[in-house]
Amino acid sequence: MADPATEDDIALVTKQLGRFPRGMVAVGARCVCGRPLAVITRPQLPDGTPFPTTCYLTSPEAVKAASHVEADGSMQHYTDLVQHDEAIHERYERAHQLYLVFRHELAVRLGDSEEHIAGTSAGGMPVRVKCLHALLAQTLVMGEGANPIGDIVMERIAADFDPKVCRCTTTLDEPAGK
């Protein structure tokens, strides 16, 4: 919550997603240019729906790059790493725990219930790889080393997406509210 969402952030993320970002409370990671890459979403949406995806990838460039990795068949390879490489398995379990602690602290701060998503993180953690977008979002929000699969994906997509190199295509014609 170090970077609460502004009206302009919400307007830009709405354009990035093509819909209003339900439950968005903060920008978790920004491009070098300042545009949102991943946002923090509250554990319970305003209508009461539980929402376990706390770190949500919004950058169209990052989404596209992660989608290409998902489409090339790498998901099974990453799941095999999690299940058979002890070092990756331990780091992935730690990523799961980090996610749960992060979401719990957010829930407490916002007064949200977590009872329907207790123990559930995102992206298939801690036993399989289900969504590279969620794992990449965790790496962007929490930093390198937070999620081993998110780190691997970040390295793989560096030619197409890098938060230190602006390739943003989504802009606001004018600030929100004007």
Q: Where are the domains of the chain?
A: 7-156
| pLDDT confidence band for 1 (50 / 70 / 90) | low
Could you tell me if 14 and 8 are in contact, meaning their C-beta atoms sit under 8 angstroms apart? Answer: no
DSSP per-residue codes, 49-60:
-B----EEE--H
Beta bridge partners of 41: 24
For the question of whether the overall pTM of this predicted structure is more than 0.75, the answer is yes
**Placement of tokens 């980090």 in the chain:** 98
DSSP β-bridge partners for residue 29: 38
Task: Give the pLDDT confidence score for residue 10 in this predicted structure.
Answer: 97
117-125 mean pLDDT: 94
Phi, then psi, of 18 in degrees rounded to 5:
80, 15
* Averaged pLDDT for residues 12-18: 97
